[in-house]
Amino acid sequence: MDAVLTAVIDIDATPEAVWDVLTDFAAYGEWSTFTSAEGTAHVGSRLTMRMPGMTFRPTVTVATPGQELRWTGTLGTKHLFHGQHSFVLSPNHDGTTRLTNHEEFSGALVTLTRRLVRTPKRDGYAAFNNGLKQRVEGLTDSTR
């Protein structure tokens, strides 16, 4: 059984400005819900993402500047636990960018952890989006 989490936010900046902050993994500890992140936004590269009580190493599967960043990760085997995370950047008509932060989980452990995954993770995704929005808008305000 799969679990899906999505959080959406509009950011007052161009998709390119959002992309620059989203893919600056070295700065994640300054603003995001991750305590640190390492790696590069290139297809095939492995990232090291750290959160309180958890470290994971997903592989980047899509890295289209200004449009989409996607990674996948597993715990054990794909049949045990598999997650696919995406950030899609869409330009709005008013010059802002809509960020869709989306994750799909599948595997045997999802059924056992469904309750644990939904509410705290959903709140974490909204917190990540808000942190990204504040960071991007703060940077673009200082360059205007």
Interatomic CA distance for residues 29 and 94, integer angstroms: 30
Residue 140 confidence (pLDDT): 73
Q: Which domain holds residue 13?
A: 3-143
Residue 39, CA distances (Å) to 56, 109, 132, 141 in order: 12, 27, 18, 27
Q: What is the CATH number of the domain that holds 12?
A: 3.30.530.20
Which one has a higher pLDDT value, 54 or 128?
128
pLDDT given for residue 119 in this prediction: 46
Q: State the pLDDT at residue 76.
A: 60
Residue 79, pLDDT score: 59
**How many domains is the chain partitioned into structurally?**
1
C-alpha distances in Å from residue 109, one per residue of 6, 36, 42, 56: 20, 26, 29, 16
**Predicted pLDDT of residue 1:** 47
Highest mean pLDDT among 3-12, 84-93, 100-109, 110-119: 84-93
pLDDT score for 125: 87
pLDDT of 2-54, one tens digit each? 777 889 999 999 999 999 999 999 999 999 988 899 999 999 999 999 888 87
Who's near 80: CB < 8 A, 6+ residues apart?
74, 107, 108, 109
Size (the chain), residues: 144
Question: What pTM value is reported for the model?
Answer: 0.84
Assign 136 a pLDDT band (cuts: 50, 70, 90): very high
Residue 11, both tokens: 């950011």
Bigger pLDDT: 81 vs 98? 98
